[in-house]
Amino acid sequence: MRICSGALVVMKAIRRNSNMYHYQGSTVIGTAATTSNDEKEAEMTKLWHMRLGHAGGKSLKTLSDQGLLKGVKTCNLEFCEHCIKGKQTRVKFGTAIHNTKGILDYVHSDVWGASKTPSLGGKHYFVTFVDDFSRRLWVYTMKTKDEVLGIFLKWKAMIETQSGRKIKCLRTDNGGKYKNDLFQKICEENGIVRHFTVKIHHNRMEWQNA
């Protein structure tokens, strides 16, 4: 019988008469517990590895050669799941390049909120529209996220009338306010291509003016 904590064996026993399990070895007390038996070297190496903040095999060998690790001579460090997970890094996102030739060819939109403190007009959210070509930004405040579609239609009518151009592509996250059936249908009817990004939770800020 073996009792494990992650990759570390903390107790072993042998089954004997009357289905009784006899504990094998002696307990080593520290920041982690393990047993001393035929595999004492490997178990003690694991113990010191954990005590020293998951030190590497070369560092443990150096300390062992100096006689600083009681009970450890020379032993290869076994696989440590915690070390592997601790060294994992997030893969960087590639930079998106949009070759826009004119205004409204590519529009970015996002929703922020809810804020803990409402604006003077009682608004807790705002939605933004950014033209990729000109980098011009429009910001509209909202009481609820349900207002996104209505605001988008008003902004679309205004900007298309003023510019004489049509929105070709709309880039948003995968939030429900952008992916509901009505929003999708309106974009399809107007020939607006949809691009979706990973949904990101923005840091909340305090804002006052509507």
Structural domains in the chain plus CATH codes:
2-86 (no CATH), 107-197 (3.30.420.10)
Q: What integer pLDDT is reported at residue 94 of this predicted model?
A: 63
State yes or no: pLDDT of 21 exceeds 90: no
Higher pLDDT, 154 or 200: 154
Instruction: Read off the pLDDT of residues 84-143 as tens digits, 9 standing for 90 and up.
Output: 767 666 666 666 666 788 999 999 999 998 888 888 888 999 999 999 999 999 999 999
Phi, psi of 22 (to 5 degrees): -100, 125
- Residue 134: the pLDDT is 92
Q: What is the Cα Rg of the chain in Å?
A: 31
DSSP states of 10-51 as a string?
Answer: EEEEEE-GGG-EEE-SEEE-SSS-EEESTTHHHHHHHHHHHH
Q: Each residue of 48-87: pLDDT tens digit?
A: 777 777 777 778 778 777 777 776 665 667 777 777 767 6
pLDDT tens per residue across span 166-179: 999 999 998 888 98
Query: In Å, how far are 104, 140, 173, 174, 180 from 125, measured between CA atoms?
Result: 24, 9, 16, 17, 19
Amino acid 208: pLDDT: 40
